[in-house]
């Protein structure tokens, strides 16, 4: 990257969405600065100005221009720095990748949140729903090592960021991904062996503790 280019990531340390962006930046070998946001206390003016519609992190500022929404940021990174392409080369592969990104964005985080937000019968239904989604993703991967085939790529990045909160879902839902979806668990392990993932993976125990704080804020306990 030319030295006059500047990348600044507006971040929150436990954001599974920011994790996606950090992994994509690491895959491209790009260096960047981080501005940590205090989401529970008060958001910075820069965040409010950069993402006026949602006021959420992550935001990536490229030479001062804001890019928002984590999947959209990862698309931008892949298009702007095309070496080590993350999306497949053929248009059919790219269309499948976009389909699964959309599915993951619509389903996974919300289904996980339903687990930590519920109790009793609702909790059981939320847990079953979450496991069902993982099984669909497992089915999409088939016998391949990664979503796109043999190579770690775009869909892997979009999903692996979210898995940093899965330990919390397991604890509050009383299930084990390894038991319910062993192929999915093996895929997580495989991804975590990659440098870009290992260096940016949120400590699952700390994510679990943070979800505990959210549960108190939402009066779940
Ligand atoms: N769809 C957004 C979700 C981002 C998101 O939910 N960010 C959370 C942190 S994990 C946030 O900024 N929350 C602050 C708020 O909702 O006010 C994306 O993919 O970037």
Residue 117, pLDDT > 70, answer: yes
Tell me which of 13, 54, 72 to substitute to probe ligand 1's pocket, judged by most ligand atoms within 8 Å of the beta carbon: 54
pLDDT digits (tens, 9 = 90+) for 42-70: 999 999 999 999 999 999 999 999 999 99
Residue 94 and residue 84: Cα distance in Å, rounded? 15
Banded model confidence at residue 1, pLDDT cuts 50, 70, 90: low
pLDDT digits (tens, 9 = 90+) for 177-221: 999 999 999 999 999 999 999 999 999 999 999 999 999 999 998
Residue 179 and residue 117: Cα distance in Å, rounded? 23
Query: Span 7-80: which CATH code?
Result: 3.40.30.10
> Which residues does 116 contact at the CB level (< 8 Å), separation at least 6?
168, 169, 172, 211, 214, 215, 220
Cα of 25 vs centre of ligand 1, distance in Å, is 19
Tell me which of 56, 66, 68 to substitute to probe ligand 1's pocket, judged by most ligand atoms within 8 Å of the beta carbon: 56
pLDDT score recorded for residue 217: 94
- Summary count for the chain: helices (H), strands (E): 11, 4
Cα of 69 vs centre of ligand 1, distance in Å, is 8
Task: Name the average pLDDT for the chain.
Answer: 96
Cα of 39 vs centre of ligand 1, distance in Å, is 9
Task: List the residue whose alpha carbon is closest to atom 2 of ligand 1.
Answer: 69
* Contact in structure between 148 and 97 (CB atoms under 8 Å): yes
Cα of 184 vs centre of ligand 1, distance in Å, is 25
pLDDT above 70: percentage of residues in the chain: 99
| Domain 91-217 architecture | Up-down Bundle (1.20)
Spell out which residues line ligand 1, taking CB within 6 angstroms: 12, 15, 17, 39, 55-58, 69-71
Banded model confidence at residue 20, pLDDT cuts 50, 70, 90: very high
What does the domain layout of the chain look like in residue ranges? 7-80, 91-217
State the burial class of residue 34 (Cβ atoms within 10 Å of its Cβ: 0-12, 13-18, 19+).
middle
pLDDT score recorded for residue 5: 84
- Alpha-carbon Rg of the chain, whole angstroms? 17
More confident residue, 210 or 3: 210
Banded model confidence at residue 23, pLDDT cuts 50, 70, 90: very high
Q: Which 3 state secondary structure label does DSSP give 104?
A: helix
Cα of 195 vs centre of ligand 1, distance in Å, is 25
- What string of DSSP letters covers 137-205? HHHHHTTSSBTTBSS--HHHHHHHHHGGGHHHHHHHHT--HHHH-HHHHHHHHHHHTSHHHHTTPPPHH
Q: Which 3 state secondary structure label does DSSP give 68?
A: strand
Residue 10 and residue 59: Cα distance in Å, rounded? 5
Residue range 150-157: mean pLDDT, rounded: 97
* Contact in structure between 22 and 9 (CB atoms under 8 Å): yes
pLDDT above 90: percentage of residues in the chain: 95
Q: Which 3 state secondary structure label does DSSP give 26?
A: helix
């Amino acid at each position: 990257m030319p030295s006059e280019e500047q990348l600044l990531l507006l971040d929150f340390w436990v954001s599974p969405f920011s994790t996606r962006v950090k992994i994509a930046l690491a895959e491209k070998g790009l260096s960047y600065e981080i501005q940590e946001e205090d989401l529970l206390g008060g958001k910075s003016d820069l965040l409010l100005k950069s993402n006026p519609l949602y006021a959420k992190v992550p935001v990536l500022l490229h030479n001062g221009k804001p890019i928002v929404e984590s999947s959209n940021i990862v698309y931008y990174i892949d298009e702007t720095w095309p070496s080590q392409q993350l999306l497949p080369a053929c248009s059919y592969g790219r269309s499948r990748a976009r389909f699964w990104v959309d599915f993951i964005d619509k389903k996974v985080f919300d289904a996980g949140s339903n687990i930590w937000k519920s109790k009793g019968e609702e909790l059981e239904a939320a847990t079953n729903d979450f496991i069902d989604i993982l099984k669909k993703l497992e089915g999409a991967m088939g016998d391949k090592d990664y979503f796109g085939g043999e190579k770690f790529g775009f869909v892997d990045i979009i999903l692996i960021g979210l898995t940093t909160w899965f330990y919390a879902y397991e604890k509050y839902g009383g299930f084990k991904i390894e038991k319910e979806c062993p192929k999915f668990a093996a895929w997580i392990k495989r991804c975590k062996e990659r440098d870009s993932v290992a260096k940016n993976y949120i400590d699952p125990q700390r994510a679990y503790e943070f979800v505990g704080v959210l549960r108190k804020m939402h009066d779940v306990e």
